[in-house]
Amino acid sequence: MLGDEAAVSPALVKAMADTIYHRGPDDDGYYVSGPIGLGFRRLAIIDLQRGHQPVSNEDGTVQIIFNGEIYNYQELREFLLAKGHVFKTQSDTEVIVHLYEELGPQCLEKLRGMFAFAIWDENTKSLLLARDRVGIKPLYYCLTDKSLVFGSEIKAILADPSMRREIAPEMIDRFLTFLYVPGQETLLRGIRKLLPGHFLLARDGKVVIQQYWDLCFAKPNHQQSFKDAEADLLNLLAEAVKLHMIADVPVGVLLSGGVDSTGVLSFAVHGTDKEVSSYTVGFSGGDVADERPYARIAADKFGTQHHDITISAKDFASFLPRYVWHMEEPVCEPPAVALFYVSKLARNYVKVLLSGEGGDEAFAGYSNYRNLVWLERAKRGLAPLNGAVARGLALANSLLHAPRIAKYGPLFNDSFPSYYYSRTSNPHCHTGNRLGEVYSADFAKAIDREHTLEPVRQLQNHVRGQNALDAMLYIDTKTWLPDDLLIKADKMTMANSVELRVPLLDHKVLEFAAALPPSFKLNGFNRKHILKRALVQKIPKEILNRKKAGFPVPYESWLRSDLKDTVWALLTDRRTVERGYFRKDAIAGLLQADSNGANYSKEIFSLLALELWQRTFLEQEQVVLQ
In tens, the pLDDT along 480-490 reads: 999 999 999 99
Separation of alpha carbons 217 and 479, rounded Å: 16
CA atoms within 13 A on the CB side of 114: 26
Separation of alpha carbons 224 and 543, rounded Å: 29
CA atoms within 13 A on the CB side of 123: 9
Separation of alpha carbons 437 and 587, rounded Å: 9
pLDDT at 546: 78
Q: Could you give the 3-state DSSP secondary structure of residue 602?
A: helix
What order of strands is seen across the sheet that includes strand 36-42? 27-33, 36-42, 2-3, 147-151, 140-143, 191-193
Contact 230, 528 (CB under 8 A): no
Query: 386: buried, middle or exposed (CB in 10 Å: 19+, 13-18, 0-12)?
Result: middle
Contact 605, 557 (CB under 8 A): no
Which residues make Cβ contacts (< 8 Å) with residue 419, sequence separation at least 6?
Answer: 411, 427, 428, 429, 430
Gyration radius from the chain CA atoms = 24
What order of strands is seen across the sheet that includes strand 62-70? 55-56, 62-70, 113-121, 126-131, 198-203, 206-211
Task: Tell me which DSSP letter residue 618 carries.
Answer: I
Q: Are strands 191-193 and 140-143 parallel, antiparallel or unpaired?
A: antiparallel
pLDDT at 547: 74
Which residues make Cβ contacts (< 8 Å) with residue 207, sequence separation at least 6?
Answer: 143, 148, 200, 201
Separation of alpha carbons 494 and 78, rounded Å: 31
pLDDT at 193: 98
Q: Which helix (H) or strand (E) holds 340?
A: helix 335-346
pTM for the full predicted model? 0.94
For 277-321, what is each residue's pLDDT tens digit? 999 999 886 666 788 999 999 999 999 999 999 999 999 999 999
Task: Give the Å distances, CA to CA, from 95 to 39, 129, 136, 189, 327.
Answer: 19, 16, 20, 36, 30
Contact 248, 77 (CB under 8 A): no
pLDDT at 514: 95
Q: Which helix (H) or strand (E) holds 390?
A: helix 386-400
Q: Are strands 277-283 and 305-311 parallel, antiparallel or unpaired?
A: parallel
pLDDT at 552: 72
Nearest alpha-carbon partner for 388 in 418, 412, 414, 407: 412
Helices (DSSP H) in 528-600: which residue ranges?
529-535, 541-544, 555-560, 564-571, 574-578, 584-595
Separation of alpha carbons 529 and 523, rounded Å: 6
Separation of alpha carbons 431 and 387, rounded Å: 18
Phi and psi, residue 552, nearest 5°: -80, 85
Nearest alpha-carbon partner for 560 in 536, 585, 603, 594: 594
Nearest alpha-carbon partner for 543 in 554, 529, 532, 552: 532
Which residues make Cβ contacts (< 8 Å) with residue 425, sequence separation at least 6?
Answer: 177, 178, 179, 433, 456
Separation of alpha carbons 359 and 256, rounded Å: 13
Phi and psi, residue 143, nearest 5°: -105, 120
Nearest alpha-carbon partner for 241 in 521, 491, 535: 535
Task: Give the Å distances, CA to CA, from 219 to 176, 263, 482, 552.
Answer: 36, 28, 25, 36
Nearest alpha-carbon partner for 69 in 308, 236, 272, 245: 245
The single-letter code of the amino acid at 538 is K
Separation of alpha carbons 489 and 197, rounded Å: 18
| Domains assigned to the chain | 2-211 (3.60.20.10)
Ramachandran quadrant class, 616 (left: phi over 0; alpha: psi -120 to 50; beta: rest): alpha
Nearest alpha-carbon partner for 202 in 339, 35, 417, 408: 35
User: Which segments of the chain have a pLDDT < 50?
Assistant: 428, 430-431
Contact 291, 256 (CB under 8 A): yes
pLDDT at 424: 73
Contact 404, 396 (CB under 8 A): no
Q: Could you give the 3-state DSSP secondary structure of residue 247?
A: coil
* Cα diameter, the chain: 76
pLDDT at 530: 97
Which residues make Cβ contacts (< 8 Å) with residue 526, sequence separation at least 6?
Answer: 532
Contact 546, 294 (CB under 8 A): yes
